[in-house]
């Protein structure tokens, strides 16, 4: 099948994942990591780093990609595409994946970002999201977790050859004593309404912040069992004002032997996760664990080993 890729005719400043651990040039805004590569001509991108994002690798919205000279090319067979001539200290590690970059599209979500590093791109690396220190690191092949980290198994859809069929990680949370399988989603985005912002105090930049998601049926079950848990109607309008959704505050969430909380979850229709998202994963998921849950941790995702490693840095505690 024909795939679309961004290409340039130079490879200066590009390193491979195996060469060395790389601190990726980023900015950190209201819980989101944005990669900020720049070429030698001074053109820069701002790409949200999204473990739950689809597409081949990079997705660049419209004019910023064109300004950098990125053009669409076919991606088939063994053809490998080259990447921009990055400025010193502004490079992104080069993915070994042949179809490394996705297409230029005219679909800007907001001025907050102009593209995305998707799950497919990230899946070629060992990636550390150090939320407390606001650092994003692509580890080298010799990386090993330290003694303070808790190992968390991740579920991935694999093909018959045992390779990833999808880059979307499933992680298990425990809430109110019940296991809940969700997507591990560093890109889960909130756009709180006035009422939502008043209740949740979500940090935002230009109205956008981070959240975690849960399906309507699970939210209804929580609310019926725990009417004392805070519930806000029309708390978030990321999907549009006419589709404003509720949010619920969960007192505590256990993940990988750590407990954090309270944590806000934004409502999503059951079909968005149980039907649509689950079809790309190794099991049924009922929402997503976003950065408002992850922000206490240094989290490393080792895609090849299907594991995450969580080190508690702030405002978390071991599960007893």
Sheet containing strand 104-105, strands side by side: 26-29, 32-35, 47-49, 115-117, 58-61, 104-105
Tell me, yes or no, whether 105 and 184 share the same domain: no
Give the pairing type, strands 287-289 and 212-215.
Answer: antiparallel
Distance between first and last Cα of the chain: 51
Q: Is 241 exposed, middle or buried (0-12, 13-18, 19+ CB in 10 A)?
A: exposed
Which strand (E) or helix (H) includes residue 33?
strand 32-35
- For the chain, the average pLDDT equals 85
Q: Are residues 133 and 161 in the same domain?
A: no
How confident is the model at residue 61, as a pLDDT? 63
Asked if the structure places residue 93 within a domain, the reply is yes
> Is residue 198 located within the same domain as residue 311?
yes
Residue 145, domain member (yes or no): no
Within-domain flag for 168:
yes
Domain boundary among 139, 174, 196: 139
Q: Is 69 left (phi over 0), alpha (psi -120 to 50) or beta?
A: left
Residues 9-27: pLDDT tens digits? 222 233 344 457 889 999 9
Residue 92 covered by a domain: yes
pLDDT digits (tens, 9 = 90+) for 24-47: 999 999 999 999 988 888 888 888
The whole-model pTM stands at 0.88
- CATH number, domain of 232, equals 2.40.70.10
Domain end marker among 139, 168, 193: 139
Contact between residue 29 and residue 289 where contact means Cβ atoms under 8 Å apart:
no
Question: At residue 162, does pLDDT exceed 70?
Answer: yes
The answer to whether residues 57 and 101 touch, using CB atoms and an 8 Å cutoff, is: yes
Beta strands in 185-250 (DSSP E): 189-190, 209-210, 212-215, 231-236, 245-250
pLDDT in tens, 244-296: 999 999 999 999 999 999 999 999 999 999 999 999 999 999 999 999 999 99
Is the confidence at residue 150, as pLDDT, over 90?
A: yes
* Residue 279 phi, psi dihedral angles, 5° rounding: -70, -15
Tell whether the model's pLDDT for residue 72 goes beyond 70.
no
- Range(s) of the domain holding residue 54: 4-139
Model pLDDT for residues 185-231, shown as the tens digit of each residue: 999 999 999 999 999 999 999 999 999 999 999 999 999 999 999 99
CATH (domain of 9): 2.40.70
Specify the 3-state DSSP secondary structure of 120.
Answer: helix
Looking at the structure, tell me whether residues 130 and 235 fall in a common domain.
no
What residues form DSSP beta bridges with 2?
none
- Looking at residue 271, its pLDDT comes to 97
Return the structure tokens found at 40. Answer: 């030698």
Distance of CA 203 to the CA centre of its chain: 17
What sign does the CA torsion over 271, 259, 318, 169 have? positive
Count the domains in the chain. 2
Which range has the top average pLDDT, 52-66, 72-86, 116-130, 203-217? 203-217
Q: What are phi and psi of 218, to 5 degrees?
A: -70, -40
> Domain for residue 144, yes or no?
no
Q: Can you tell me the distance from the alpha carbon of 211 to that of 188, in angstroms, rounded to the nearest whole number?
A: 6
Q: Where does the chain have alpha helices with state H? A: 63-67, 119-122, 194-200, 216-225, 270, 291-294
């Amino acid at each position: 099948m024909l795939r679309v890729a961004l290409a340039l005719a130079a490879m200066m400043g590009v390193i491979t994942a195996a060469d060395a651990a790389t601190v990726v040039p980023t900015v950190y805004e209201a819980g989101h990591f944005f990669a900020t590569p720049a070429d030698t001509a001074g053109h820069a991108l701002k790409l949200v780093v999204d473990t739950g994002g689809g597409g081949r690798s990079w997705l660049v919205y419209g004019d910023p990609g064109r300004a950098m000279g990125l053009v669409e090319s076919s991606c088939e067979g063994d053809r490998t595409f080259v990447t921009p001539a990055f400025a010193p200290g502004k490079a992104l590690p080069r993915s070994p994946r042949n179809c490394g970059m996705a297409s230029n599209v005219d679909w800007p979500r907001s001025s907050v970002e102009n593209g995305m590093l998707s799950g497919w791109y990230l899946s070629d690396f060992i990636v550390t999201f150090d939320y407390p220190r606001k650092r994003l690191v692509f580890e080298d092949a010799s990386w090993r977790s330290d003694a303070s980290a808790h190992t968390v198994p991740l579920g991935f859809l694999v093909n018959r050859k045992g390779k990833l069929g999808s880059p979307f990680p499933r992680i298990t949370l425990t809430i109110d004593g019940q296991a809940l399988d969700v997507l591990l989603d560093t890109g889960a985005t909130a756009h709180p309404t006035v009422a939502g912002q008043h209740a949740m105090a979500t940090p935002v930049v230009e109205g956008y912040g981070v959240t975690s998601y849960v399906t309507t049926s699970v939210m209804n079950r929580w609310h019926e069992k725990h009417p004392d848990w805070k519930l806000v109607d029309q708390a978030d309008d990321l999907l549009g004002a006419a589709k404003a959704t509720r949010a619920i505050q969960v007192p505590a969430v256990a993940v990988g032997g750590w407990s954090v909380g309270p944590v806000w979850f934004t409502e999503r229709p059951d079909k968005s996760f149980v039907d649509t998202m689950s079809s790309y994963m190794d099991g049924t998921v009922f929402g997503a664990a976003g950065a408002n849950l992850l922000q206490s941790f240094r989290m490393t995702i080792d895609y090849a080993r299907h594991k995450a490693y969580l080190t508690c840095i702030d405002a978390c505690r071991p599960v007893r």
